[in-house]
Chain A
Amino acid sequence: MTTSTIFSSPQPLAQPVHDTPMAERGWLAAVALGLLALLVAAAAPEGLCGPAFWLGLGALSAGTLGWSRYKFGRGPAGVRHNNLWARASTARGAVAWVTGLVLTGFYVVLYWWPQYLENLIRPLDGLSHALRQKPADQWFLYGTFYTLAVLLMGGRALYKYRHSPYQRVRTVSVVFFQLGFAWLLPGLLLALQKPEFYFSYFWPLKYDYLFPGTVDYLVRDGQALGVFMVFWGAVMSFVATPVLTYFFGKRWYCSWVCGCGGLAETAGDPYRHLSDKSRAAWRWEVRLIYPILGFIVLVTALLWLGAAGLLPGWFTSSHSSGLPLVDGLSPVEGLSKVYGFFIGSIFSGVIGVGFYPILGNRVWCRFGCPMAAYLGLLQKHFSRFRISTNGGQCISCGNCSNVCEMGIDVKQYAQRGEPIIRAACVGCGLCSTACPRGVLNLENGPREGRYQASALISAESLRILE
């Protein structure tokens, strides 16, 4: 992520088309009206905030779906990337910066000043009661907005990628897991007086699920179901993850199940090309993601050692250090708190989603997520997954690298005829979808010869010598 590549993108040759058709303007106006109504709702007196809130959500939903259908659902289906690097909204222009600021601001208010969201939370009380038998709070607001974003932009993805069965199935999958496993089911559990639990998130992404405190709480409060939840979490983290990754690669989770991935693949799809493909960015990725995995493994281990009484008392007793954030905490708790604050909140939320329009939609997944790091190590070393390249057919056009949300310079492999086996790859399949020459294919196959390059290309081995 060198600053030069991000802040001084060379201008593309394309010039945006300014004569947006009337119908498209209409749908975009509905989206704008929805956002405006939500803004009004957030600041309105009590009597008005309910109607404004629902008008806002209604207009936003209808506008997003209507626009998606108008833009991608009519006419021939195919890769539609015209003016991707020419529009202010998708090429780090003014619209993108405003969008990023609004998203980032929302996260900051949500995490640290939720009282200012009261007007947006209260209208959801009815829905929250119906689903969870309790009043709405800021996390219900967040979960509902998040799910709605995945649903609506999932609709957009289904229109946009309707020519690709792989993308259709995958989009339906992320929408299903977000709606069912990350919104309905946790709500229902609350309604049934059970612990709120997300069956689609596992340690080390949902790091506290294997913390002694959470395990203790689940077993005590959830009884038999709580025991199952702990069992489920442990099995998913330590058994299912390696097994599924062995057969299908990291993608079974990152681009099919995970909620962060779900948002990235739907709401973040317009920003996927913004990921930095440079070697410098790759170095930053490695420098950040593995230490973060190490950090959370260390914190988890220390917490368990502390709980088992195996650590010297200094580690688990409170100290008034006078330091911000961790004052009055034990060193182990302090580490956990530091991780939660900087990685769990700031990195995954504020930067991870807030910076979508500037840094791309997978910043968190690529540079921060410990689950992605863990899955990546498995994918690289213990998996049958690879992206095959098709003989000598690559023309180095760069479409594959352009659409890679994980910042992999896919063409480096394709133009050498090498299979792509990278820890980062989440298997979204967009490189294969966007390739104009049918060069790339996501495949699960025997590990033997997994790295075998094509004999039909490469400056490294002269293919034409027989």
Chain B
Amino acid sequence: MHLVIIGNGIAGVTCAQTARRLQPEARITLVSSESPHHFSRPALMYLYMGHMRWPDVKPFEDWYWAENRLELIHDHATAIDAKQQQVHLAAGPPLTYDALLLATGATTRYYGWPGQHLQGVQGLVSKADVELMAACTPGVQQAVVVGGGLIGVELAEMLGARRVAVTLLVRDAHYWGSVLPAEEAALVAAELRRHGVQVQYGTELTEILGDDAGRVRAVRTSAGQELPAQWVGIATGVQPNLGLAAGTGIETDRGILVDERLQTSVPGIYAAGDCAQRRQPPPGEAAIEPLWYTGRMQGETVAHTICGQPTPYRRGPWFNSAKFFDLEYQTYGQVPARPEAGQASFWWQHPTRALGLRLHYRLDDHLTLLGLNTMGLRLRHEICDGWLRQGASVRHALEHLGAANFDPEFFPQHEAAIVAAFNQQQPELAPLVLRRRKGLLVHLLSL
């Protein structure tokens, strides 16, 4: 079998690795025009800030590919001939495939703003993007970043590292309004303030203004304000790369449409990662999941299907994490931004420090845990995942919170305060008792 994978991002590479394991004899070819080798997309910001160099953000040394017989082609796939089962490349000869995976990723989504094509206006998705940003930002005094999500804060942090004054435009009334509850967002807002980022909430970009040389000089906002900016970052989300699917008979919508086995409408052609859109995602799950972790899981799943072990994509309880400047965030399961009927949230926040924990649960007899958010605290993924899969009660989770504590040694432990706060907020319930403190040693002693 010859498996051709278009895209060497996390979805494509995980598929290649998994396929290599499942079919040691298969020929596997990865095609990418973005970079000769796989790299960590979430690490692009660290390149810009000088924390690391290009080789440092490659998850595998260069010998890895040849030793595992994963052929790399640094070329641009221009067209697919589904009948001939061929992929045409810009420079090299066409590749004949038995199975084809489209892991073409996504690109910055623009909303048709006037002036969006001016020099100095860009997003941050690809290696080329960060190189462009490095080339465009020297000398920039003021920048505007559009978008109150994860990439928006990343861009603000990157620019801050070069002492560029940043204004962040956030459409919602608070940061990441579609995902974060107000309390978590308030901690992020405080963190942004601490790092000197000006944030304008409830504000959208309406127009980008240029100078005579075709460079951006300012933006106009929905508040009617004109903000001077020599660089504008667009962080309002991404859109799947669909170009390769055009004219092939592969059905697309916003993304490349796939069934639950990540097969497209054309037999032998699959899609995974940021470019894929599930036709019928299970309730509560998004059709497109443009995320490192889901890209990895989709790559793993689709490799099984390709290698003759048809496997539906079931990612299990949701998880994600981020870091807003110095503030770490983790989430497990479902924690909606706004309370929903029949559900409740318990939020604990440290009186003085930027630490918070939310346990979201269903208001049934059992008080079933639905999800957790942490700010400034680290939780143990396995424990949280176990609670969510088993349908543990929020009471059980709180009483055993120490088991989930993943903070380093000597960090203050807050489990007792958290349980006390819950007891105080829920006087009608039988008071909880903290049963599990932190650490593997305690784990051993308590058995």
Contact = CB atoms under 8 A, between A and B. Distances in A.
B350 to A, nearest CB: 14
26 contacts: A5-B55, A12-B54, A14-B48, A78-B325, A81-B46, A165-B412, A278-B61, A279-B63, A388-B406, A390-B381, A395-B40, A395-B43, A395-B293, A397-B42, A398-B43, A398-B59, A402-B51, A402-B52, A429-B408, A445-B443, A446-B443, A462-B18, A463-B316, A464-B314, A464-B315, A465-B311
A294 interface: no
Q: Which 10 A-B pairs have the closest CB atoms?
A: A391-B381, A445-B440, A14-B50, A78-B326, A438-B378, A397-B43, A165-B410, A83-B50, A396-B59, A86-B50
Residue among B195, B314, B328, B381 facing the most chain A CB atoms (10 A cut-off): B381
A446 B56 contact: no
A10 interface: yes
A85 B441 contact: no
Given A12-B47, A395-B43, A445-B444, A17 B319 contact: no
Contacts of A163: 326
B134 to A, nearest CB: 4
A392 B293 contact: yes
A433 B326 CA distance: 11
B409 A442 contact: yes
B131 A13 contact: yes
A444 B441 contact: yes
Interface in B391-438: 406-412
A396 B43 contact: yes
Given A82-B49, A441-B406, A443-B439, A391 B385 contact: yes
B186 interface: no
Contacts, number: 197
Given A9-B53, A85-B51, A397-B43, A17 B195 contact: no
B326 A82 contact: no
A84 B59 contact: no
A464 B313 contact: yes
Chain A interface residue number, banded: 35 or more
Contact of B330 (A393, A401, A432): A393
B83 interface: no
Interface in A401-442: 401-402, 409, 411, 415, 429, 432-433, 436-438, 441-442
Contact of A443 (B14, B163, B293, B440): B440
B411 A166 contact: yes
Residue among A76, A397, A399, A415 facing the most chain B CB atoms (10 A cut-off): A397
Contacts of B407: 441
A441 B61 CA distance: 24
Interface string A13-27: 111110100000000
Contact of A164 (B18, B55, B57, B408): B408
A459 interface: yes
